[in-house]
Each structure stands twice: as structure tokens, then as C-alpha cells.
Chains A and B, each alone.
Chain A
Amino acid sequence: MSVRHALLALLTEGPKYGLQLRQEFEARTGEVWPLNVGQVYTTLQRLERDGLVESDGEGEGPQKGYHITAAGRHELNDWLRTPSDTAPPRDELVIKVLVAVRLPGVDVHDVVQVHRRRLVEAMQRYTRLKADAADDDLTLGLVADAELFRLEGTVRWLDAADARLRRLAGAAPATTEATTEVTTEPAVQGHDVEVG
């Protein structure tokens, strides 16, 4: 998620103060992605350095006002059309499952289930957030759905991994074969597994 471009987008609506930018960012992401103040000011300083925003030169910290420049608008338009995340991230969960397959005395299915449960628990929390929100809260619906589909993708990968491991265990119990098979799978859409 680009805080940088989110701040530029907010500034297209007119000049704003740092504190105001932080509050509006959180409100518009359904408060699912909180920002700390430091992140906002560091990002604004970098944007100013790169000529994408200008400060009004008065006030300090939260009182300092910013407006977007022509170069900032250009940058924002380019970013909207740039494909996201072309390189697959190294997924810690995939690595954990691969390690569990090889490690003696570890039941890989137990490891898979621990993660499956934690992911589903995280999904329950996002779903509850959505369920409790007003019907017309579009932002929260969109943000919660994005997280839910991401988490669901990982659960489905775990289901597939589980099924693949069981099928192989049924056919040929050699651990090394199972490992080889799994490592040839393409990397999943990754994200941090520490969701709990």
C-alpha cells in the first residue's frame, strides 16, 4: 500500500494539514490501515523533497499545510495505471510448510492446521467488522473484502497443500518425493502470515 500516493490523492482535493491528512487517510481506509504520525510527516518531507508537494512554509508539525504540485498530479496519474507487485514476495508461510515437510518428528498437517485456524480467525474478525458496519459504508466493505480475499487465497493454498501432501503420502510415503513435489509449485500470492 502506498502511503505516498494516498497522501497525494488526498491533496488533489485542496491544501491540507499533516494531521488532517492522517485522519482522512484512516477514515477512508475504514480505519483498517492505521498510520502513525511519524509515517505521515516522513512521507510528506520526502514528497516535498521530490517536488511533488509544497508546504505553505508556515507552522510546524501538525499545523504545517501542504498542497500538491503539477508534478505530484502527474506522478499520481502514472501510479494509478502502474501494475502492482510484479515480483512475488517471499512468503514465510510457504517456507514454514516446506520446512515442516522435511523436519523429522513434525506433522506437517498439524502445522498447516494451526495456520489455517489462525487465518480463519483473522477472517472472522474482518467479516465481523463488515457485518457490524453500516450497509452504505463502501470504504470499509472494499477494504475488508480485500483483506478477506487475500486471507482466503492463503487458506485455499493450505487446503491444496494439505490435499497434495495426503495424496503423495498415500501413493509413496517417501518424504523427499513429497518435498520435491511441493517445491515445484509456483509461489502463492504472499503476505505476512502473522495475522493473529
Chain B
Amino acid sequence: MEVLELRQVSKVYGSGATEVHALDGIDLAVTAGELVAIMGPSGSGKSTLLTIAGTLEDPTAGDVLVAGADVSTLSRNDRARLRRRAIGYVFQDFNLLAGLTAAENVALPLELDGTGVRTARAIALEALDELDVAEHADRYPDDLSGGERQRVAIARAVVGERRLLLADEPTGALDSVNGEGVMRLLRAACHRGVAGVVVTHDAQLASWADRVVFLRDGRIVDQTTAPPGPESLLAPGPSR
């Protein structure tokens, strides 16, 4: 089932001589259980695409559907509820609140949505446990390593009934082994039934996705076809 659908989405900033077409006629559908990577150079429109998919920004033209709902028809409140309930965000700099513990950070979106404090904490602990950081539940972000902070951020993004996971360069400044850990977690979260979109300029990160979409000057110029299984690598090829 399609969890995210962009139909002919365009975004223009400024006007007249300073007009910038950040996105131009984007068609993109992401189904439940699928992780899609958006790859492109700086200024190709990757982050704009993500903020529009996350309903944080409106397109100039076109439709955005999240979990079947046309975002443009939603009231402000309904849209905020959609963001809290259905969409999880993972940012490059983690964006954890420094004054809250790991568990409180993860529980926050649930509490904002009306879940009782105790229930929210129990669900948060479960999410932290799934990401192997349950023992850090009562520590503050400043006391955690970069890798641990990012795990907490992912727990916050997938906690509850999230349907869509959006990540902007989610491995930040992590080294390649920790970065790989983050991508493993995002991939696992998606394969449990969430639709995921990760934007990156890094081909290694993108290669964790089921599908890689190439963005250039605000347009989708190409995408990978469903790759054959890894067994295709085992066939004897030309010698190096």
C-alpha cells in the first residue's frame, strides 16, 4: 500500500528574477515496507522534497498524500496530528531535546498526542530496547555517544503507529561503521512495515535502500531497478 504519494509536485521559491524552481513535477510513490533513497548533489532539491513529504512545507503545485490523506485538504490541527502520529523524522544533527532524557525524548510525541505518561514511557522503553539503547533510557543526550544519540532519534521516529519515516542525511558525522548501523536500523524499521525515505548524497548510504531515485535540478532523472539478489554477484565474472 502506498504510504507516501507525490503527484506532480513543484516548489518555487522567490519570484521574478530571483525565482528558484526547487522541485519540478515530482512523481513519487513509496509503499509500506519499502525504503527509498533520494540521491542528488547539493541544491538538487532533496531536502525540499523531504520537508514537503513530511508536510512541514506546502508545494507550490501538485498533491501530497500521506497514508491516503490528501494533505492540502487537512485542517491545521489534522495536519499536526498526522505529523505526530504517522510521520517520524530523523535529522542529521539528531535534534534531541537536551533537557529531556532519552526515554522522555522518545515518549514526547506520544504524550503530545494524548497518550498517558506511563503508557508513553512503556512504549518508549520498548522502542529503545529494539534499538539496543534501553540501558540509556534515563540518560540525557549530552551523556550519550553520537551513535547512541542517533539510535534514540530513530526510536523517537518509529515509536507508536508511525507509517512514514523520513531521514535527512541520517548518519550525520558518524563514522562508517556507526553509519552502517544506523542504515541497518532504518532498513529493519522499514521492512517491519513502515515506508521510508532517506535523502543523501552518499552512495554507500543510498545502497541500503530498496530503490534509489536520482534527483537533479529538482527533477527525478533516473532510478534504480529492483536489484537482483546478491547471488548474482557470485557468478564468475570477468577477472579483475
Contacts and interface: CB of A to CB of B under 8 A. Distances in A.
B is a partner of A = yes
Contacts of B203: 119-120, 123, 151-152, 155-156
A20 interface: no
Contact of B240 (A36, A126, A192): A192
Contact of B208 (A127, A152, A155): A127
Contacts of B224: 117, 120-121, 124
A162 B203 CA distance: 15
The interface size bin for chain A is 20 to 34
A169 to B, nearest CB: 13
Contact of B227 (A116, A124, A194): A124
B222 A124 contact: no
B214 A125 contact: no
25 contacts: A1-B240, A32-B234, A34-B234, A34-B236, A113-B214, A116-B222, A117-B212, A120-B207, A121-B224, A123-B203, A123-B204, A123-B206, A123-B207, A125-B229, A125-B232, A127-B207, A128-B230, A129-B233, A132-B230, A148-B207, A151-B203, A152-B202, A152-B203, A156-B203, A192-B238
Nearest to A195: B237
Describe A's contact surface by its main secondary structure.
Answer: helix
User: Closest 3 CB pairs between A and B?
Assistant: A123-B207, A129-B230, A127-B207
Contacts of B202: 152
B184 A128 contact: no
Contact of B184 (A116, A121, A131, A163): A131
Q: Tell me which of A32, A36, A128 has the highest count of chain B C-beta atoms within 10 A of its own C-beta.
A: A128
B212 A124 contact: yes
B198 interface: no
A162 B149 CA distance: 35
B206 A121 contact: no
Given A116-B214, A121-B227, A36 B236 contact: yes
Contacts of B214: 113, 116-117
Contacts of B240: 1, 191-192
A113 B221 CA distance: 9
A31 interface: yes
B15 interface: no
A121 B208 CA distance: 10
Contact of A117 (B209, B222, B233): B222
B116 interface: no
A56 interface: no
Contacts of B235: 34
Given A117-B214, A125-B230, A191-B240, A131 B187 contact: yes
B233 A124 contact: no
Interface of A: 1, 31-32, 34, 36, 113, 116-117, 119-121, 123-129, 131-132, 148-149, 151-152, 155-156, 159, 162-163, 191-192, 194
Interface in B174-224: 184, 187, 201-204, 206-209, 212, 214, 221-224
B228 interface: yes
Contacts of A119: 203
Interface residues of B, number: 30
Given A131-B184, A155-B203, A120 B39 contact: yes
B145 interface: no
Nearest to A114: B222
Nearest to B232: A125
B41 interface: yes
B225 interface: yes
A3 to B, nearest CB: 9
A162 B184 CA distance: 30
Contacts of A159: 41, 201
A35 to B, nearest CB: 8
B227 A31 contact: no
A152 B233 contact: no
A159 B40 CA distance: 9
B230 A126 contact: yes
A103 B224 CA distance: 26
